[in-house]
Structure 1
């Protein structure tokens, strides 16, 4: 295949030497997205957020701009506005196909229009059409999100970048459904909608970012506010980003505050009118689920929404049943750098929590699945745990993210040879899958732990293939990334009645793992049920009920009918005794409770749809429009009545996104073609051609060619066992080390906090019985081995680890070995315990993203022709 290279004329561009490789600068700019403003009002444990995006047209012809961006996965989007030429157009929520048709028709008629669509729980797309030359258009989104609370702290997390995701499967024929860099495949039919091009590292900050959060404790005891990943300015309880921050990582605030059990009742008449379409009345009339009259707000007369929060009882969970645990670790190329270090450490810590009566397996995967042990589950003996940690220490990031196969293998291991199981979650929640399984004298808890960044595009395929097999298995997910795929990991954890922990830095890892350890242990209260008193719960409206764990409150939302009343939450304690708490309802107002319930309810319906129940499509659309909350089957569309252009826009640009902070991507290698310097990837990393065939690699007539080349997903190796599958698309870990070569993953400063933590643990264990102290030293040996690998080598730690491996031998002097260990750790750490030190691999700068855009799409621009035809990709047949 021949790809012509058309150079730009000198008068068409101006080099920008400090802008990073491959970037150019034009007089008018080259990106449509000018600004992004986020304003959050946090009241108690609820956040109301307004997102304002400013688009401009630097070209000489009308423009259609596309922006793929993230939102919190549990957020309910309830309003959409477009502002242009001193006109404000309110968005209308419609069935997605109808909204797309209205948008396309408006553009064809020369009118301005904008459409907001959800492609994943945390990935959204906005298209703004017929932006006139030199004009600026503003779009506004309003959303509401709950703040999770645990161990005395709430978390406000707002994502700012869609990280590249691994796209498996065989490319589909026909036009793509979107304008992204990845082709649609049979496993990810909308891959081209979730793969925006990626800016080169060093590109001048293209978007003005502002983010402000106003915190109102609403009567709760607010003790501390911490920002995890950004430099902020605080004035009272108002937190603002410092100017100049980039959209390359999540914004995270942690609020140390109290919480209390409560029941809030919000009648529909107090919830306000939702942002629904003019067709709401007609769509609501079709809702035959309940034969009751509806008011103008779309709710039933006499109905409302409740929010129930119950704190767990005092105490800690004492595990009484043995466990079967399968640990699945992602070692794909996108995990390179600090993420791989943190993932190995997380997995090793989980292995260390297992007891002698437990069984376990460790699976690692990229394009292939590797096991720490052959066969099935093995006993969690000291020997097996050491071998597992040793296996984990050898893992390096590489290849593609083929996640489905290891998850299916993990479920197979947990369902084979199981003498009995315990009910992981006997809730009556609508859509819950973590149900009860047979119990008996040999009953065992079954647990699957997935450690990954979650950067895959085939989430629906994974959920569909695993959903039916999750009964009786609790699934916990540990998401490690600064731009984690929280939507998918959260959905998987909910379906598996488990927990999702997000780790944006190594400093956060220990806290997150403590939560996972508690989750793997037994809950305080199980078999929970909600019993109404004085009001009626609308059947099928309860969100997930779950179980009560130490430090984690239970939050349940649902619909009710009746004037007022109370709810009782009843269950069974770990020792089999009854437990219950009764809460009287207190009236509330505003749309937050109603919107958050609708989002949770829709998410449950969408997951059931993804798992194979295609009959839910019409019900999902009706529910979304009735309650005015965006979902994957609906869209907000804003259409101006005034004609502004002569037909459809003649230019289409998809906004490139920032490289995620902390990612270490393969660097491009230089080569020369026909005497002109350019960049290209090695053959194994060559980007695929753009859908529709090859066109010019550089379009001199397009100012947006100044972007250089967008990053996007690079092909990785194809597993030998699957010769018919196309080349797996993922990130490579870069140049591998020579066999036997020890490569330092971090400097000593990166290991120092871990050594301090080990010293603190060692001092705390001095009073344990001799057997437990010997086991502690033997387990410490496995962790020291990991530190040695992280450092490349360390003779002192390596020698101590070798001696500690013999700690359980009766002939080994425990006192001498214990003293040696304390002295070495004190010498290395200066005698400090846990909590000191910082830095490490998580502070390293991100590597370069690969060069080489899909041919003919410099800077993410799509065809100059009319609006491309798009398939109804969200309807999977």
Structure 2
């Protein structure tokens, strides 16, 4: 009887547990309507006098997701605080984007909070301001040395003052902390930044990051006894670059709105390869761009391409901001567009492809398709191999093979066999690729396809700088949230280019365009001199970058300079093209320049970038200490956030509204899993622990009952 009763109870519980499990592990469905809507918006012609709105299919109401503030107190109960919305307003003028980002939070708990959230910005962004709005009160920020800013924040927090702190973790990752955030209050944190847009082949390209992909941390994480956080010797800030993920079953209403005003650019075409958009023409040089549905879940970086009318790019353009005795300029030089006959050099090409867990979903398919397209562009005199990596690395061939048709077909089969999964042990694979022997007379090229979601960037930069030699490295960012900082810095060190392949972009076109660029000569060994127009003598002018990068075909050279307000002269650029020296003269006429007040801050940002690059290459403690001091000096002079400075805002009037015990609840902002990533890789495959426990308990009882009745 006992066994029969237990069996009935077990049958009652089993279906419920199974149903719960089924609902729990149900995978997110692909919103086909959203995909079609994006396809319909690519491209959007805007040549007509009156531009009709692109026909965008209505998106289905998406599953509730986004960011919420949450915390766990001592008894492990959860506090929920919705992140209501993020508003992004941009204005693009003369190739520079001025962006205001406002995130709005509301505290619907009964406790004062300290809110901490980690967010992405473009790696080349120049932050010009940050403010905290609580109700009708606006708290402005100032830039201080990082440790001093942290002390100011902590002291204000202890005194019960409302305060905010903005810190840089990486060039593209920032952390904001907001203390004494009171119950029932709405808090708005606003950031302003400037960014020069990428230009190539008659088009500007804008990227706005919306989500941070989870960074893989190599080596075993160990608890730091001083800070009580998990770090590694390679990545001592691992806890500060990986925000928590939103639980799959968490309801959330956080969405992002984005509006862009384009002024002063003669646009021919414009489209987004990531989001459905509307484009409205105001006049021949003014356009408004917005999200077709007005808002979106922040789970995919935004991309916008703007094609200019032909024959409209001057040989040189100047944007100036003037101080009392000096002029700060952003000088964009367009080398002659006439094609020079290229001297072809045999290439030894090593394709390095990331097949780790973060490449699961659509990313691995994009990478494989891109890799196959690359094989089509190889010449008979080229050699190649393919190296893939996750936890470990393997290869198509341990030595480079001639690019014959049969080897290329074999390589395609190898590519088809690749599957994603495992960690991102990039360092081992990169070292192997850099050590591969190549022909003395051939150009060594590394083509790297990855989402770049690792936390040990500096280790990789040092390795690349030490071992690349005369080779070149080109990076392709894959997926909905690639690590832009890693992609661009590796390409910079590797004297190559960085490109990004977005979700609905024509991969074949991107790769074909890349190899066509390589078919044209590169302007190398660039030197800049400034000459006085009257005397012809050289004038010492501070400019950045000091060591100019190589200039690829149909890409401009951009330089930030500071010279006397009365300077009249020319900019002399010399370099090597097809093995021969070439010289170009460009007049600097301040009367023909356009005024842009914030160029001074962008000059400071370029100065810091140059100093940090010198630190990366040096690694000499004494030299780096001097360089660090210079970075600090420049950042304070221009009021810029950097690796060694932060922005802090403190209210003047003390508010004694803390909890009775004098402590604040610490809350963190979880982020979306980037669009297209496989949830099972990061959330794990859930198991019905309750069902397993019940079955185990049932088995024990059955054994006990059998033993009792068998006596």
Q: Could you say which TM-score interval applies, normalised by the shorter chain? A: 0.7 to 0.9
Q: CA deviation at 1:235?
A: 3.2
Equivalent pair of 1:312/1:550 in contact (CA under 8 Å): no
Matching of residue 625 in structure 1 with residue 676 in structure 2: no
Out of 412, 415, 418, the residue aligned to residue 395 of structure 1 is 418
Change (3 A) 1:460 1:240: same
Gaps of 5+ in 2: 1-22, 27-61, 71-77, 282-286, 533-537, 695-711
Change (3 A) 1:646 1:263: same
Q: CA deviation at 1:96?
A: 1.0
Q: Which position in structure 2 is the counterpart of 1:358?
A: 382
Q: Which position in structure 2 is the counterpart of 1:582?
A: 586
Q: Trace 1:533-544 onto structure 2 (pairs within 5 A).
A: 533-534=531-532, 536-539=539-542, 541-542=544-545
Matching of residue 655 in structure 1 with residue 649 in structure 2: no
* Cα distance in 2 for residues equivalent to 1:24 and 1:625: 34
Equivalent pair of 1:62/1:651 in contact (CA under 8 Å): yes
* Cα distance in 1 for residues equivalent to 2:582 and 2:98: 38
What TM-score, normalized to structure 1?
0.64
* Cα distance in 1 for residues equivalent to 2:508 and 2:147: 46
Moved more, 403-412 or 528-537: 528-537
Change (3 A) 1:608 1:384: farther
* Cα distance in 2 for residues equivalent to 1:388 and 1:675: 45
* Cα distance in 2 for residues equivalent to 1:445 and 1:19: 50
What TM-score, normalized to structure 2?
0.79
Deviation per residue, 1:465-490 (Å, 9 max, x gap): 32222342211100011111111111
Q: CA deviation at 1:527?
A: 3.0
Q: CA deviation at 1:558?
A: 3.1
Across the aligned residues of Structure 1 and Structure 2, the Cα RMSD in angstroms comes to 3.0
Change (3 A) 1:232 1:116: same
Change (3 A) 1:128 1:551: same
Q: CA deviation at 1:85?
A: 4.1
Q: Trace 1:361-510 onto structure 2 (pairs within 5 A).
A: 361-374=385-398, 376-413=399-436, 416=437, 418-419=439-440, 443-510=441-508
Change (3 A) 1:609 1:169: farther
* Cα distance in 2 for residues equivalent to 1:176 and 1:351: 51
* Cα distance in 2 for residues equivalent to 1:558 and 1:235: 36
* Cα distance in 2 for residues equivalent to 1:153 and 1:303: 28
Give the match's secondary structure for 1:546: coil
Equivalent pair of 2:492/2:549 in contact (CA under 8 Å): no
Change (3 A) 1:598 1:469: farther
Q: Which position in structure 1 is the counterpart of 2:127?
A: 77
Matching of residue 257 in structure 1 with residue 308 in structure 2: yes
Q: Which position in structure 1 is the counterpart of 2:138?
A: 88
Equivalent pair of 2:211/2:672 in contact (CA under 8 Å): yes
Q: CA deviation at 1:550?
A: 2.5
Matching of residue 672 in structure 1 with residue 689 in structure 2: yes
Change (3 A) 1:627 1:322: same
* Cα distance in 1 for residues equivalent to 2:68 and 2:676: 25
Q: CA deviation at 1:609?
A: 3.0
Equivalent pair of 1:178/1:192 in contact (CA under 8 Å): no
Q: Which position in structure 2 is the counterpart of 1:637?
A: 648
Give the match's secondary structure for 1:670: coil
Deviation per residue, 1:533-585 (Å, 9 max, x gap): 22735457335522332322222223334622221223333263635242333
Moved more, 633-642 or 224-233: 224-233
Change (3 A) 1:636 1:95: same
Deviation per residue, 1:647-685 (Å, 9 max, x gap): 5652111011111111123163331348889xxxxxxxx
Change (3 A) 1:59 1:676: farther
Deviation per residue, 1:51-103 (Å, 9 max, x gap): 11222222212101111111111111011111224222211111111111111
Equivalent pair of 2:543/2:560 in contact (CA under 8 Å): no
* Cα distance in 2 for residues equivalent to 1:508 and 1:629: 38
Q: Which position in structure 1 is the counterpart of 2:275?
A: 230
Change (3 A) 1:351 1:253: same
* Cα distance in 1 for residues equivalent to 2:307 and 2:693: 58
Deviation per residue, 1:720-765 (Å, 9 max, x gap): xxxxxxxxxxxxxxxxxxxxxxxxxxxxxxxxxxxxxxxxxxxxxx
Out of 545, 549, 554, the residue aligned to residue 551 of structure 1 is 554
Equivalent pair of 1:73/1:122 in contact (CA under 8 Å): yes
Equivalent pair of 1:113/1:639 in contact (CA under 8 Å): yes
* Cα distance in 2 for residues equivalent to 1:609 and 1:306: 24
Q: How many residues align?
A: 601
